[in-house]
Amino acid sequence: MKPEQGPVTHVEDNDEQATTAKKKNKKRKRDKPPSLTTVAQAAGRVTAKVELIPDQPNKTPPLVGYFPSGFNPQGGDQGEGETTTRVRVYRNMNERKHKTGRLELVVSPTESSVEFVGTSYAGEAMAPQFCQYALGVLDKDSQTLKIVPIASNKIFRLEPRVGSSDIADKEEANVEVTKGQQADMKAMLDTRYGTKKSLRRSKKMNDLLKENDLESQKDLEKKIKSVKINKGALESATVDTILNIPPYDSSATIPELAYPLDKIILKGEWDFLQDIYELLQVGKEVNSSAYPSFVCNRIQKLRELKDDTDKKVLACIFSYITHLVKFKDQNSMDAAASAKNHKIPSILRQKFLTSFSHPESKRLSEDKIHLLISYALVLTLHADNFQTNLVDIAKDLRMSEVNLRHHYEKLGCKLKREKNELLVTLPVPLQFPKLKQRRRR
């Protein structure tokens, strides 16, 4: 039999026991994952002083841009094919006075006719901004973290474009390029560097250029001859043009469908009409100077609604009426000052400019003003369950009650008097006033 080894183990002196314990602890530490504190100490944690630098009017804040096309401004890998880039920033001349925030960032690679341009006043930058952006710079020497707001509080999307006019002038001086070659060159650049938006625009332009093709014109004439003319549709289009009325359904059996609300306020516009609803949700009062009297006189009616869905729909209708009235005031000579500080959502402003203005004139024409008024009057009917008083909306539109009656009648409305009050109703099916033709003498 072998002798027991237990007693021999305990014969070691104190120094040997300590050495053995240290080795075991080191082995355990190697087996265990490092803690967060250990990692932070290994990475060199810095205790820095945070300094928030506000926007300074005399200095341009930092600009942050990105390239959706995949362009690398630092050049190729390992120094091969390196390219140097030129960065320029353009600012509006009236920036200091009006503070419009209109900036343009241009990145120009050398030896290339393509420039990358990003703006703070067009394209993606015009979308609603739900968050703010800032740039942080850590100085380890001074142990200071400086946080600076980004210019115009937007990230610039740098889209490729054909080079500047100076380069184009030099090329034209050396080589004569025909219009067809220019179109082919631009199509090639759009295909190679363009975004999906530029490709769609290029495709539409090519379709428009086919009008000059003789073969295409012959095919179009044959198709026009084979088309049957719908006289009823032409008469309806004539009525719409003359009366300047919103989309309607003349065969509707209930007033709500005579002028469908979803044809006036489109699906994507409801999210930008929540201002009045949000004010009521937090218990704030509606400022009478910021909203028309038609809206202010019906806020109590809005508060009394118990169904939250009906309340939200009615609040959006009030907001849409407000934007229509303010847009009319902003484009008139005598009432522009009253709507100077009113902000219309970009999606609605673009729609109003397309529907109610003329691209060649800054002022609204008479027929476009009548169309805008018709949209506002139809919404007043929806707001008052198709029985409304025209006194307050006439005041908001700066019109006499007599002239406003004619507008309601052109929409197919009827007037009735109840308790010394003149009310406007909408009978169905719609019946528009017949056009009077003058007799020739």
**Could you tell me if 403 and 280 lie in one domain?**
yes
**Per-residue confidence (pLDDT) for residue 214, from 0 to 100:** 60
What are the Cα distances from residue 364, in Å, to 252, 331, 393? 32, 7, 20
Mean pLDDT of 36-58: 67
For the segment 22-51, the average pLDDT, to the nearest whole number, is 56
- One domain for residues 303 and 168: no
pLDDT of residue 320: 96
Asked, for residue 225, whether it belongs to a domain, the answer is no
Q: Are residues 254 and 402 in the same domain?
A: yes
Is the same domain home to 158 and 293? no
Higher pLDDT, 254 or 214: 254
Residue 298 lies inside a defined structural domain of this protein:
yes
Same domain for 146 and 255, yes or no, is no
Overall number of domains in the chain: 2
Domain assignment of residue 11, yes or no: no
Q: Which domain range does residue 396 map to?
A: 237-425
Q: How far apart are CA 345 and CA 285, in angstroms?
A: 21
Mean pLDDT for 144-150 is: 89
Q: Is the peptide bond before 429 cis (omega within 30 degrees of 0)?
A: yes
User: In this predicted model, what pLDDT tens digit does every residue of 175-224 receive, in sequence order?
Assistant: 455 666 777 777 777 777 788 888 887 777 776 666 555 666 666 666 66
Tell me the percentage of the chain whose pLDDT exceeds 90.
27
Pairwise CA distance, residues 162 & 83, whole Å = 18
pLDDT value, residue 52: 86
What is the predicted pLDDT for the residue at 275?
93
Closest CA relative to residue 344, chosen from 356, 334, 333: 356
Q: In the numeric block, which tokens belong to residue 3?
A: 């002798």
pLDDT tens, residue by residue, 375-413: 999 999 999 999 999 999 999 999 999 999 999 999 999
Q: Tell me the pLDDT band of 372, cut-offs 50, 70 and 90.
A: very high
Between 409 and 31, the higher pLDDT residue? 409
Same-domain pairing of 258 and 393: yes
Rounded to an integer, what distance in angstroms lies between the CA atom of residue 277 and that of residue 287? 13
Quick check: helix, strand or coil at residue 392?
Answer: helix
Whether residues 251 and 385 share a domain: the answer is yes
pTM: 0.48
74-98 per-position pLDDT tens digit: 765 544 445 578 888 887 766 555 5
Query: Is residue 110 helix, strand or coil?
Result: coil
Residue 153 is assigned to a structural domain of this protein:
yes
Last residue of a domain, which of 148, 173, 198?
A: 173
pLDDT of residue 123: 75
397 and 309 in a common domain: yes
Question: Does 192 reside within a domain?
Answer: no
Does position 145 have pLDDT exceeding 50, yes or no? yes
Give the count of beta carbons closer than 10 Å to the beta carbon of residue 54.
Answer: 7
* Mean pLDDT to the nearest integer, 318-337: 89
Q: Which residue would you say has higher pLDDT here, 438 or 313?
A: 313
Q: Of 74-88, 165-179, 335-349, which one has max mean pLDDT?
A: 335-349
- The most confident of the ranges 45-54, 96-105, 137-146 is 137-146
pLDDT confidence of 38, banded at 50, 70, 90? Answer: very low
Q: Is 221 contained in some domain?
A: no
Final residue in a domain of this structure, among 173, 196, 217: 173
Q: pLDDT-based confidence at 11, cuts 50/70/90? A: very low
Q: Confirm if 345 and 272 have CB atoms less than 8 A apart.
A: yes
Distances (CA, A) of 318 to 74, 85, 232, 281: 52, 51, 35, 15
The verdict on 158 and 292 lying in the same domain is no
End-to-end alpha carbon distance in the chain: 145
DSSP string covering 48-103 = -EEEEPPP-TTSPPP--EE-TT---TT-SGGGTT---EEEEEEE-TTHHHH----E
The model's pLDDT over 126-136, given as tens digits with 9 standing for 90+, comes to 777 778 888 88
What's the mean per-residue pLDDT of the chain? Answer: 77
159 and 287 in one domain?
no
The residues, ordered by sequence, that sit 6+ positions from 20 with a Cβ below 8 Å of its Cβ are 12
For residue 40, pLDDT over 90 is answered with: no
The mean pLDDT of 271-287, rounded to a whole number, is: 90
Considering the domain architecture, whether residues 265 and 355 belong to the same structural domain is answered as yes
Instruction: Check whether residue 57 and residue 133 sit in a common domain.
Output: yes
150: pLDDT strictly greater than 80? yes
Q: Is 223 inside any structural domain?
A: no
Is position 311 within any domain?
yes
Phi, psi (5° rounding) for residue 342? -80, 130
CB 114 within 8 A of CB 193: yes
CA-based R_g, the chain, Å: 35
